[in-house]
Amino acid sequence: MTLIEDAKKGKKPPEVETVARREGVDPDKLARLVARGRAVIPRNLRREIDPIGIGETLTTKVNLNLGSSRGLADPGAEVEKAVVAMEAGADTVMDLSTGGDIDEIRRRVLDAVAIPVGTVPIYQAEVAGDLTSQGLFDALVQQAKDGVDFVTVHVGVNLNSLERLKASHRIMGVVSRGGSLTLKYMSETGEDNPYYAEFDHLLDIAREHELTLSLGDGLRPGCIEDASDRAKYMEFIMLGELVDRARRAGVQAMVEGPGHVPADEIETSVKAMKYVTDGAPVYLLGPIVTDVAPGYDHITAAIGGVIAGMSGADFLCATTPSEHLDLPTKEDIFEGTVVTRIAAHACDLTKPGVRERARHWDRKMAVARRDLDWPAQFDLAINPAIARKIRHRRGVDVETCTMCDELCAIRLAKEAMDREEMKEEEKKRKKIETNKRTKEIEG
Ligand code: SF4
């Protein structure tokens, strides 16, 4: 029995209980959401992990992508990135390695972190020089046996969507690596995407290994001009049909979304994904809201992430400052993870069912700021180290801070309000005294 099948039978598997307790959600309600496929808990039983839930009524989660490339393939560096991402608060990591001994990298990453790990099996088939139907399924089984918790499969890229793509007027064409490898397979063999054509076989494997499927958006737009074309929406519709099949087969599934999208098109995009997938958890890459900010794409993606989260997205993939430019360093990984966590929390502050819990954190920070309680402010900061470093970088030790110094608005206002309170107290004291004297005279 898979998790979704247990939940369909009204059971509450331990993972559901754990996630419900951590998130402050009723376990029966969460079990019902898992049964309907509106929340997923990716976990491969081969590995001990701290399970996390993604979807309706749950906090917005953050994934961090790492992985080698052909030119930069240092397993130790990728493991270090996984640990840095976890320490920075990532809920999951994906190993997207395509260079060096990718089996070693994957296994070491799986050993190094106690959070769910995702992969993209088509990369392994390509690296192994076996971009065939058998090679694709072998890679999937191998990664499942290694203990991977969720996999991206670009099932929306197939002969159907290829026709839409040919008829489109995209500037950037296909920018998804998995999507482009699938296109390569189809154009070289003349056959359909094996993961799509043999989706039932894929579901059998996922079911056997309790793999959660992340149905990839291989046709995601690579620039804002391409954001809302027919190819993309055609892919959403197909992913919705495949989500239905996954649920019927007892396999957990989420759907991936774009990409590069101007701010005013994000809500439509996310709502369309939710609608055509009957509320499947939505996993977003970005969305990056402008194409002109290389070096700052962790910020362009965070802006899009907030709008997407407010529109219903459940899971944000961190973008790092090196997006579009270079393989990320561990410093980029840390920065990208923290900035995406800020976006996720900003979403949570507005989400029904989540916002009260999320706002508790901000309320505590507001009290610490009001009280000029610096240690508490550092403890509550999303990145205490950077807050502490900036506060102390000039070596000045004042009760307020060097921004307004003696004109600290918080302190001046507090002193003024304290003075007003004393005046009120004095007024009350005088009134009581006058009343007392009047009674004495009358007596
Ligand atoms: S000095 Fe200004 S910025 Fe600093 S704590 Fe006071 S009000 Fe805030």
Q: What is the pLDDT of residue 286?
A: 85
Q: Which two tokens stand for residue 114?
A: 């106690």
CB 107 within 8 A of CB 164: no
Ligand 1 atom nearest to 407, measured from its CA: 1
Q: pLDDT at residue 6 above 90?
A: yes
Q: Using DSSP, how many helices (H) and how many strands (E) does the chain show?
A: 19, 10
Backbone dihedral angles phi then psi of residue 30, each to the nearest 5 degrees: -65, -40
Please write the tens of the pLDDT for every residue from 210-251: 999 999 989 999 999 999 899 999 999 999 999 999 999 999
Distance CA 161, CA 230 (A): 9
**What would the two tokens of residue 97 be?**
């390695």
Give the Cα separation of 310 and 264 in Å (integer): 13
Distance CA 91, CA 233 (A): 28
- Taking the centre of ligand 1 as the mean of its atom positions, its distance from the CA of residue 373, in whole angstroms, is 12
For residues 282 and 255, give the distance between their C-alpha atoms in angstroms, rounded to a whole number.
Answer: 5
pLDDT of residue 226: 93
409 close to ligand 1 (CB < 6 Angstrom): yes
Half-sphere exposure of 167 (CA within 13 A, CB side): 11
Integer Cα distance of 77 and 79 in angstroms: 5
- Look at residue 353 and tell me whether its pLDDT is greater than 90: no
pLDDT at position 2 is 93
- Interval 176-189 mean pLDDT: 95
Select from 372, 394, 397, 404 the residue to mutate for testing ligand 1; criterion: most ligand atoms less than 8 Å from CB. 404
3-state secondary structure 144-163: HHHCCCEEEECCCCCHHHHH
pLDDT at 399 over 80: yes
**Where is average pLDDT lowest: 97-111, 157-171, 258-272, 323-337?**
157-171
Cα of 400 vs centre of ligand 1, distance in Å, is 6
The confidence score (pLDDT) of residue 141 equals 97
Is 90 exceeded by the pLDDT of residue 443?
Answer: no
Q: Is the CB of 180 under 6 A from ligand 1?
A: no
Measured from the CB, is residue 403 less than 6 Å from ligand 1?
yes
Instruction: Please give the distance, rounded to the nearest whole angstrom, from the Cα atom of residue 402 to the centre of ligand 1.
Output: 7
Residue 153 pLDDT: 98
